[in-house]
Chain A
């Protein structure tokens, strides 16, 4: 059961500050949180009933020990909830339900991995780097943004110093590859030598259109593609049934909960 260790906790903000386009927030929680990359938390901390619902944030990093844990999030201000969150200072109380959802899977037989993040989507794929390092798998990172300012700071990018490992892409060409992440992936695929020998396993999180183009490109090549989907959710732990998306199951398809059966799905099963 992926959510067997889910819990509702009260935390306290240690640090919450903007860096470029993103906020990074560290929270003290009562216990160490073990999580699978791709899992998320439902977070709220503003007073009153409006907005009513907590916000889903990917878990970026956790630390600490038994009896004294920390959890870190990276988020972007997109609406009222995240705007209120960004205004909270160190010491402010937060409510968190975590860790939630079905995260990425890391089959040991897959040796080449590409981590693909669009917009703030990097926050759910970067944690995969530590797992891949531990299982001695090679990985490269592809980051897409509208413009240079929307890319994460270099020191947030795992293994950024390794040559050729990180591929930046911007829609306006202000940094890195001039074009979308999907076109950068196509370019990378074309440059593979010898072409098409080893299968690559892709972990992707970002806007729906980006995920679809990554799936359209990589699935026909036989790559394994796992995508982390976004959806409006009320509860985050499988009881409101508000966040569903159509997922193929054998010959049929049905509505599955992004918060519970997802947010990470095998891209072959997603009804795009």
Chain B
């Protein structure tokens, strides 16, 4: 191997091979097509589209977002176009764009989750399904299933049986033992776990004595959550054998490298897309540059090499 060869950034999530370990996080990237004015979305490891439900969902009333120190709270309420329109209108355009893409799904009931997963069998190019078992802003947005190992296990098992697609389970950080949650997903047949979703938070106005968000509480994201996310990803990596996809506050290549270092097989970039539409591709380039500088030839030579002793 010569130094002039570009490093191999291929990431493997079970049977899914990604050209690099950087994906866009669900809910921060629309349906992917919104980014085509900025760059070629086929450059991403994968696009994770906004959470899809069986029927179109109107979402929460405004106010839906508020900025917080080095972060933001959101309570969008999973507004989305529904799985039918995704299949008919979005998927063909993602195919045309040459993108690798994953559908994030949610339901109000287990049956709705199953139905969305079944419908997506019609999208041959769909690389995987990411089960949203962790939206904090909708009562039925999965958190009912995603806050205990038993609930998560039951939901994962049912959706597992409903689809042959690779199944990733997105975990909530609003639990006391993230390792137990990751194990529950693994034992129920998940091919990977993704974490963390947002951390439940709140903002109020001291003068008007009202909550800022119409939903009262919202999900915290951005650099403020990164240390919490990093710790949870590290714990999950120790708890399961299936790949762990790291997410939470990643703004730059160095942040992404930290998640890979603690064992993540790949990462997702979320809120950073809001402040810089080119964030994902800048992170891919930054990881490549780092590997070249550090003479690391393959992602696998770096991943999970954290030195905790000595």
Chain A residues within 8 Å of B, Cβ to Cβ: 3-8, 44, 49-54, 95, 97, 231-235, 237-246, 254-255
Contacts and interface: CB of A to CB of B under 8 A. Distances in A.
A255 B38 contact: no
B74 A240 contact: yes
A167 B244 CA distance: 63
Contacts of B79: 241, 244, 255
B275 interface: yes
Nearest to B73: A242
A161 B222 CA distance: 49
A254 B58 contact: yes
A210 B50 CA distance: 35
With a 10 A CB-CB cut-off, give which of B50, B273, B276, B277 has the most chain A CB atoms: B277
A243 B64 CA distance: 7
Given A3-B37, A244-B62, 14 more contacts: A6-B37, A52-B275, A53-B275, A95-B276, A232-B66, A232-B67, A239-B35, A240-B28, A240-B74, A241-B59, A241-B64, A242-B64, A243-B62, A243-B65
A238 B81 CA distance: 14
Nearest 3 CB-CB pairings of A with B = A242-B65, A235-B274, A239-B30
Q: Which of A231, A237, A245 has the most CB of B within 10 A?
A: A237
Interface string B21-41: 000000111100011011000
Nearest to A51: B67
A52 B72 contact: yes
Nearest to B282: A8
A46 B76 CA distance: 27
B69 interface: yes
Contacts of A255: 58-59, 61-62, 79
B70 A50 contact: yes
Contacts of A54: 275
A68 to B, nearest CB: 21
A234 B277 CA distance: 11
B38 A7 contact: yes
A235 B273 contact: yes
A238 B38 CA distance: 13
Interface of B: 27-30, 34-35, 37-38, 50, 58-59, 61-67, 69-72, 74, 76, 79, 222-223, 251, 271, 273-278
B274 to A, nearest CB: 4
Given A5-B37, A53-B67, A234-B72, A240 B274 contact: yes
A52 B30 contact: no
A245 B27 CA distance: 18
Nearest to A239: B30
A242 B67 contact: no
Given A239-B274, A255-B58, A232 B38 contact: no
A238 B70 CA distance: 21
A239 to B, nearest CB: 4
A104 B258 CA distance: 46
Nearest to A5: B37
Nearest to A52: B222
Given A5-B37, A234-B271, A240-B76, A49 B62 contact: no
Contacts of B71: 52
A272 B115 CA distance: 37
Given A53-B67, A53-B274, A239 B29 contact: yes
Contact of A49 (B34, B61, B251): B251
Find the residue from A6, A50, A245 having the highest chain B CB count within 10 A: A50
A97 B38 CA distance: 10
B34 A53 contact: no
